[in-house]
Amino acid sequence: MPLEQVRIVQDGLENSMSNTEKRKSWAEPFKIKMVELLRMTTRDERVKAIKEAGYNTFLLKSDDVYIDLLTDSGTSAMSDRQWSGMMMGDEAYAGSRNFYHLEEAVRKYYGYKYLVPTHQGRGAEHIISRIMIKKGDFIPGNMYFTTTRLHQELAGGGFVDVIVDEAHDPTNQHTFKGNVDISKLDRLLEKVGKEKIPYLSIATAVNMAGGQPISLENLKKVREWSLKHGIPIIHDATRVAENAYFIKKRESGCQDKSVAQIVRELCDLTDGCTMSAKKDAMVNIGGFLAVNDPDLFDQARNMVVIYEGLHTYGGMAGRDMEAVAIGLGESVDHEHIRARVEQVMYLGGKLLDAGVPIVEPIGSHAVFLDAKRFLPHVPQNEFPAQVLAAELYVEAGIRSMERGVVSAGRDPETGDHRYPKLELVRLTIPRRVYTQAHMDVTAEAVIELYENRDRIKGLKMVYEPKYLRFFQARFEPI
């Protein structure tokens, strides 16, 4: 029996342990078989470490980190089933059995017909951008993502934000801040014409908006628009299961659907996807491009051999593909996704109760501190989110990530900083890795920092790389 069938993907809150017993408390739907020991550091050690890292949390050594909330990408804990799948890796250069298993899983859970494996998400973004975008094209999307937009720009295109205005306001309580504003699509079409719009770039659980979902209702409208104008939709499916959980919880008429069903519905409204399997699918490395159009598939399959690897492995080992195939099934399991998203809610709820300014509603994969309100005395050109992330590390050994002016980069036309409305610090929760107690410690540390926020001062950038500067830029206190 295939491994993912061992655990029946069941759904519905009424079936879960806590609800049948009518208890208020609930626990993670797994037990721990192996642990990774954490290193404790002193404040002096952390002051030295962050200085050496140029006040950039990407440049810290992970050995110097206590609770690592830099990202949920490649940092989740694989299940015993995924690990046993790793032992079933078929490392043949061509035609690995794990490729066929992955293809079957993508068809089953997402419904896309053709699979092109890649080493991770940006590998897929590179390929789809190179194939579909011509110089001078415009690619509308529900907020940019750093790597996605860069690949669109490198292919000669320009990203156009068509997300609802509410998404740019961290205090707005809109329950589907990932939604597209169709009138923005109309305006773009009118301005540039459909020949210049190769596809719509639609993400589920929009990362840069704070992990905010798009509703099924909105995606259906986007689909109508797309069919009417003959412009396809490429879906960034990186966190589609998390988006589906929000739909089940919030969208009317969806309560009785399973997360697995909603994931399929979302994917069925689009023409293909790029996927970083390092998130929802909980693997340490891997990704893919999947499409329904045979011609597009042909071109992608040809391009993957140049940049990634043969079309039946695309930069992954056979064992990696097996872990992705199993992880896709686990990602749509109701108990799993509920525990995952509700753990994020738990941390966010604690911060809200203490009056710490965060993006609301709380997103699916992370709690985003609103650095503009946290540090109103630090102007945006002194990198408030960057300094807040550095200070949280010094305070408590907790590593987070800047998602503000540094991440937004420079405008390729003018060369100026892009000043995004959202200046955020992301506390990203890896899946199945930390307990509620780690969340308690994190909340307490952030609250303490908030109480002492007045003493925090801005930074100046002293080194700036050309591409994706946030990864390697260096700073000094002003």
Active-site residue, selected from the candidate residues 57, 75, 118, 146: 146
Select the span of 40-48, 118-126, 288-296, 385-393 touching ligand P70 (CB under 6 A). Answer: 118-126
Active-site residue, selected from the candidate residues 20, 43, 80, 93: 93
User: Which of residues 308 and 335 has its CB atom nearest to ligand P70 in the complex?
Assistant: 308
Q: Which of 121, 141, 232, 458 binds ligand P70 (CB under 6 A)?
A: 121
Is 454 in the active site? Answer: no
Number of residues that bind ligand P70 (CB under 6 A): 16
User: Which of residues 203 and 356 has its CB atom nearest to ligand P70 in the complex?
Assistant: 203
What single letter denotes the amino acid at residue 44? D
Select the span of 23-31, 85-93, 140-148, 178-186 touching ligand P70 (CB under 6 A). Answer: 140-148
Select the span of 116-124, 321-329, 372-380, 384-392 touching ligand P70 (CB under 6 A). Answer: 116-124
CB of 409 to ligand P70, least distance (A): 11
Q: Which residue has the tokens 């992301």?
A: 426
Q: Degrees (nearest 5) of the Cα angle 276, 315, 264?
A: 35
Kindly state whether residue 203 participates in binding ligand P70, applying the rule CB under 6 A. Answer: yes
| Residue in 334, 390, 401, 396 with CA at minimum distance from that of residue 367 | 401
Q: Which residues contact 129 (CB under 8 A, 6 or more apart)?
A: 151, 152, 154, 155, 157
Q: CA 368, CA 219: separation in Å to the nearest integer? A: 25
Kindly state whether residue 73 participates in binding ligand P70, applying the rule CB under 6 A. Answer: yes
CB of 145 to ligand P70, least distance (A): 5
- Stretch 312-341: interaction string toward ligand P70, x if CB under 6 A: ------------------------------
Sign of the four-CA dihedral 391, 396, 401, 404: negative
Please report how many Cα atoms fall inside a 13 Å half-sphere around the Cα of residue 433, on the Cβ side. Answer: 25
Sign of the four-CA dihedral 187, 190, 192, 196: positive
CB of 56 to ligand P70, least distance (A): 12
| Residue in 88, 81, 110 with CA at minimum distance from that of residue 432 | 81
Tokens of 105: 């899983």
CB of 59 to ligand P70, least distance (A): 13
Q: CA 68, CA 397: separation in Å to the nearest integer? A: 8
Active-site residue, selected from the candidate residues 264, 278, 399, 403: 403
Q: How many residues are there in the chain?
A: 478
186: three-class secondary structure by DSSP: helix
Kindly state whether residue 148 participates in binding ligand P70, applying the rule CB under 6 A. Answer: yes
User: Which of residues 72 and 103 has its CB atom nearest to ligand P70 in the complex?
Assistant: 72
Active-site residue, selected from the candidate residues 64, 68, 72, 236: 236
CB of 66 to ligand P70, least distance (A): 19
Please report how many Cα atoms fall inside a 13 Å half-sphere around the Cα of residue 442, on the Cβ side. Answer: 32
Kindly state whether residue 386 participates in binding ligand P70, applying the rule CB under 6 A. Answer: no
User: Which of residues 71 and 258 has its CB atom nearest to ligand P70 in the complex?
Assistant: 71
Kindly state whether residue 146 participates in binding ligand P70, applying the rule CB under 6 A. Answer: yes
Is 340 in the active site? Answer: no
Q: Which of 55, 145, 368, 383 binds ligand P70 (CB under 6 A)?
A: 145
Cα separations in angstroms, 196 against 85, 139, 203, 213, 260? 44, 8, 20, 27, 35
Q: Which of 79, 82, 142, 147 binds ligand P70 (CB under 6 A)?
A: 147
User: Which of residues 98 and 148 has its CB atom nearest to ligand P70 in the complex?
Assistant: 148
Burial class (CB in 10 A: 0-12, 13-18, 19+), 433: middle
Q: Which of 56, 57, 79, 120 binds ligand P70 (CB under 6 A)?
A: 120
User: Which of residues 3 and 222 has its CB atom nearest to ligand P70 in the complex?
Assistant: 222
Is 466 in the active site? Answer: no
Q: Which of 137, 153, 236, 271 binds ligand P70 (CB under 6 A)?
A: 236
Is 279 in the active site? Answer: yes
| DSSP 8-class letter at 180 | B
Is 403 in the active site? Answer: yes
CB of 57 to ligand P70, least distance (A): 11
Kindly state whether residue 400 participates in binding ligand P70, applying the rule CB under 6 A. Answer: no
Tokens of 159: 């990203």
Q: CA 260, CA 246: separation in Å to the nearest integer? A: 13
CB of 397 to ligand P70, least distance (A): 19
Q: Which residues contact 212 (CB under 8 A, 6 or more apart)?
A: 167, 176, 177, 178, 205, 206, 361, 363
| Residue in 351, 456, 420, 335 with CA at minimum distance from that of residue 28 | 335
Q: Which residues contact 99 (CB under 8 A, 6 or more apart)?
A: 115, 117, 312, 313, 318, 321
Tokens of 107: 């068809």
Is 93 in the active site? Answer: yes
Select the span of 114-122, 155-163, 413-421, 455-463 touching ligand P70 (CB under 6 A). Answer: 114-122
350, 355, 360, 364: CA torsion to nearest 10 = -20
Please report how many Cα atoms fall inside a 13 Å half-sphere around the Cα of residue 115, on the Cβ side. Answer: 26
Q: Which of 68, 99, 117, 122 binds ligand P70 (CB under 6 A)?
A: 122
Is 48 in the active site? Answer: no
Kindly state whether residue 287 participates in binding ligand P70, applying the rule CB under 6 A. Answer: yes
> Contact residues for ligand P70 (CB under 6 A)?
71, 73, 120-122, 145-148, 203, 207, 236, 238, 276, 278, 287
Catalytically annotated residues? 93, 145-146, 236, 279, 403, 470
